[in-house]
Structure 1
Amino acid sequence: MTRFARTVAAVALTTALALTAGCGGSDSDADAGSDGKALKKVTYLTSFGNFGRDAYAWVAKDKGFFKDAGFDVTIRPGQGTGGVIPAIVGGQAQFGPIDLTGGLLNMGNGQAKDFVAVAAVQQHTMAAIATTEGNGISKPKDLEGKRLADTPGSVVRNLFPTYARLAGVDATKVKWVNGEAQTLMGTLAGGSVDGIGQFVVGKPTVEAVTKKKAVLLPYSAVIPDLYGNVLITSKKNAENDPESVRRFTAALLKGLEYSLGHTQEAAQILKRNVDTTNPAAAAAELELMAGYVTPKDGSGAVIGSLDSGRVAKSIRLLEDAGTLPKGMTPDQIIDFDLVPKG
C-alpha cells in the first residue's frame, strides 16, 4: 500500500473551488442504485478546497461507490472546520470532514453544537505551520515576531495557543492575519506573510507554488495523540437515519482506501473534475497522507475507527492547556454506534 498524504494543493484552484459535484462518469446518467431504488441526493463538503488530500471523495463518486450505496452526491469545496460545521448543522450539506480537535474546541467553547463525528479520516493530526527557506523559521521558537495567515476557523489557527504553550512559544508575539483556502499559498509565495496554516502533506504543493524549499512545523511533533480529520454529520441526520449514515460512511471510506492504493489514478480523477488540479502534486499529497490514515499494525483498528480512550486523552490535554473548558466527554462529539469497527 502506498504512502498517503494530505497536502494543501495549488493556489490555482481559485476558480475550481466554485465547482459543484462535477461528474464522475458512473453517476452522470443514472438515478437508481444497485438495489434499483432511487438515489438519495446528498451534498458533501470537502475539508478545505478541492485539493489532493480530498480526492478520495471524487474517487468514491467516479468509481460508483456512492451510487452503489444509494446516493447521488454533489461535492462542494469546504472552508475548513469553522466553515464545514455550520454548513452541516444548517442543512446546506449533509456530510463533511473537520479536524476533530477543531471540532472539540468549537463545541467545548460553545461556538457550535448539533453535529457528531462518525468516522476518522486521519488517525493523527496533520496540522502544521508551513513556510519556506529564507523566512528565518526552522523551529517553533522562530515563530515569535513573525506574521502568519490562515482562515479564521482553521484548526491550525485555533489550536495554535495550545501548540505554542507546549512548544515554548510566546503566542502573543505571533501575528495572525485572515486568509482564504484558495489564496493562502499565493500569500506565502508573494512574501506578504512569513508562514501559513497548512497540513504536513502540503509540502509538495507549497514548493510547487512558491518555487522554494518548504519548511514545516508539524503540530504532531508536540501533540502526538490528536486525531486528524473526522467525518461529521448533523445529530438530526444521525438520529433519524443511522443506516443511511453508515452506508454513506462506508462508501466514502471505500473511496479513501482505493485512493491509498491508486494515488496516480485518484489524482487524475480529481483533475477530470477540477480543471486546475496539478496531478503530480495531488498524487504526492495522497502519498504523504497514507501514514496518517492507516491504523498502526496490530492495533486491531480499521480505517475510519475512533478510540474513546484516545479522544478522552486529547480532551484532557486541551483542558490542561486551558483551551477547553472542563467536563467534555468523547461521546458528546462522537457517535460511537456509527463509527466503523474491526
Structure 2
Amino acid sequence: MFHRPILAAAAFAAFAGAATAQTAMPFALDWKFEGPAAPYFVAIDKGYFADVGLEVEITAGQGSLDAIPKVATGAFPVGFADINSLIKFLDQNPGAPVTAVMMVYDKPPFAVVGRKSQGVEAPKDLEGRVLGAPPPDGAWAQFPIFAAENDLDMDAITVEPVGFPTREPMLAEGEVDAVTGFSFSSFLNLVRLGVPEDDISTILMADHGVALYGNAVIVNTEFAAANPAAVEGFLEAVAMGWKDAIAEPAAAIESLVARNPAADAALEERRLALAIDANVVTDYTAANGMGTVDADRMATALEQIALTYEFQNAPDASLYFTDAYLPEGGFPLD
C-alpha cells in the first residue's frame, strides 16, 4: 500500500483546511515556464482562480512524471502530468490518493524528433541509429508502445540516456540521430539552436499507431473529496485560461514572460500555438469539449500499455480518470 510521508500529510492537511474565503491550491506543473504553461498564468492574471475563491501558485516541474508523487503525497493538491505514467504509478502504488480529472492534451505530444540529414524521417529509420532519451521523459516512457506498434527492432537501436538540458544540443551537434521528447518543445529547441527547420523530422507517436492520451490535470483525491467545489472551480478557471490562450496566444505569452523574463516571447508563442493545434484543439475536443475522455479510446490505451508493461493489478479506467468535477460535455472551446 502507498504511504504518505508525515510532513507531506501535514502539508496536505493545511491545504485541505485552507481559509474559507480563499482556498490555497498550489499547482505543480510538469515542466518549465514555457509556452504551453501560459494558460495557467492567464487564469491567475485575469482573476479566474480568484473569482472561484482560489489562491493558486504555480511551480515548475522536471518532466511529465514529476508531479505525480508530489500530488500523491499531498505535497500539492493539484498537478499536471502524463496520464500513462499515472496509470503505472497507481498500479504500483494501489490506493495512492491521486487521479486525473481533466484531460488537456487530448492528442499527446509524445514524439521522436530526428534530423533528416542523419537519415531519420520515419519510425523504421531509427534502426541502426542512436536515440537520445532522458530517463524521466514522458515520451521515452511511451517509446516501447511506439516501437511495438511499428515493429521496431530494439536491438538495432542504440539508446543513449541523456539529460534534458543536453538532449537537443546533442542532436544539433550530431552526437545522436534522434531524441524522444514533446513535439513542440524539442522542435523549437532545435530551431533555437540553429538547426534548419526543413532538416527536422517530427515523428508524432499518435500518428503512428499510439492511441494513448497525454497530460492531464491530476488531483489528490483526499483533497478533492474534502474540497469538491474548489476542484470544480480550479478546472473551470483552467479551461477559461486555455480558451483565452487559444483565442489570443500573443496575449497569453505576456502572462508567461512576466514569470520568465528570460523567455523568447516569439519562440514561446510559437510553442504554445504548436501545442494548441496538435494537442489541445482536436477533432474530439471540437465536438465533445475539453477535459473529457472517450471510454473506448481509454480501453484501447490500456491495452496498448499492457503490450509493454505487465500490470500487477487488473487495469481499471475508473481509478485513473474521473469526470466527476467536469461539467457534462466538458468545456466548450468555441
Length-normalised TM-score, structure 2? 0.83
Matching residue's letter, 1:117:
A
Aligned to 1:207: 191
* Mapped partners of 2:258, 2:275: distance in 1: 21
Q: 1:269 aligns with which of 255, 258, 267?
A: 255
Shift of 1:247: 0.9
More helix by share: 2
Q: What's the counterpart of residue 120 of structure 2?
A: 137
Q: Is the 8 A contact 2:85 2:138 kept in 1?
A: yes
| 1:312-331 equivalent positions in 2, closer than 5 A | 312-319=299-306, 321-325=307-311, 327-331=314-318
The residue that corresponds to 1:14 in the other structure is none
Contact 1:49 / 1:182 at 8 angstroms: preserved in 2? no
Matching residue within 217, 224, 229 for 2:203: 217
1:308 to 276, 291, 295: 295
1:140 to partner: Cα distance:
1.0
Deviates more, 1:142-151 or 1:249-258: 142-151
Mapping for residues 211-250 of structure 1, pairs under 5 Å:
211-213=195-197, 214-250=200-236
Please tell me whether the aligned partners of residues 103 and 215 of structure 2 are also in contact (alpha carbons under 8 angstroms): yes
- Specify which of 114, 117, 120 is matched with residue 97 of structure 2: 114
3-state SS of the aligned residue for 2:118? coil
Which one is further off, 58-67 or 111-120?
111-120
- 1:197 and 1:51 mapped to 2: Cα distance? 18
Report the more deviating stretch, 188-197 or 239-248.
Answer: 188-197
**How far apart in 1 are the matches of 2:57 and 2:162?**
26
Q: 1:159 to 1:224 in 2, by over 3 A?
A: closer
Residue 126 (str. 1) matches residue 112 (str. 2): no
Q: 1-side partners of 2:52 and 2:162: how far apart?
A: 37
Structure 2 CA distance for partners of 1:146 and 1:51, relative to 1, 3 Å: farther
1:1-342 paired onto structure 2 within 5 Å: 38-110=21-93, 113-202=96-185, 203-213=187-197, 214-291=200-277, 292-296=279-283, 300-319=287-306, 321-325=307-311, 327-342=314-329
Offset at residue 115 of structure 1 (A): 1.1
> Cα gap change, 1:37/1:288 in structure 2, threshold over 3 Å: closer, same or farther?
same
- The code of the aligned residue for 1:278 comes to D
**CA separation in 2, counterparts of 1:192 and 1:40?**
48
Residue 275 of structure 1: how far off its partner (Å): 1.6
| Alignment partners' CA distance in 2, 1:58 and 1:132 | 34
Give yes or no for contact 1:127–1:218 (8 Å, CA) kept in 2: yes
- Tell me if the contact between 2:64 and 2:215 (Cα under 8 Å) persists in the aligned partners: no
Identity %: 22
Conserved in 2, the CA contact under 8 Å of 1:295 and 1:301? no
The alpha carbon displacement at 1:324 in A equals 4.4
Q: Which moved more, 1:78-87 or 1:324-333?
A: 324-333
Query: SS of the residue aligned with 2:117?
Result: coil
CA positional deviation for 1:306: 1.9
**1:78 partner amino acid:** G
TM-score when normalising by structure 1: 0.81
CA shift in 2, pair 1:43/1:189, >3 Å: farther
Q: What displacement does 1:81 show?
A: 2.8
Conserved? CA contact 2:71–2:79, under 8 Å = yes
CA offset digits 1:211-245 (Å, max 9, x no partner):
33321111011235322211101122222222211
| 3-state secondary structure, aligned to 2:56 | strand
Paired residue for 1:11? Answer: none
For residues 321 and 205 of structure 2, the distance between their equivalents in structure 1, rounded to whole angstroms, comes to 23
Distance 1:317 1:67, change over 3 A: same
| Number of residue equivalences | 306
Partner Cα distance (2:64, 2:287) in 1: 29
Native 8 Å contact 2:30 2:65 kept in 1: no
Contact 1:132 1:212 survives alignment (8 Å): no
Q: Give the residue type in structure 2 aligned to 1:87.
A: K
The CA RMSD measured in Å over matched residues stands at: 2.5
Q: 1:83 Cα deviation (Å)?
A: 1.3
What residue ranges of structure 2 are gaps of 5+ in the alignment? 1-18, 330-334
Higher RCO (CA-CA < 8 Å; seq separation 6+): 1
Q: Which amino acid aligns with 1:309?
A: D
1:235-282 Cα offsets, whole Å, 9 max, x none, are: 222222222111111111211111111111112221121022111121
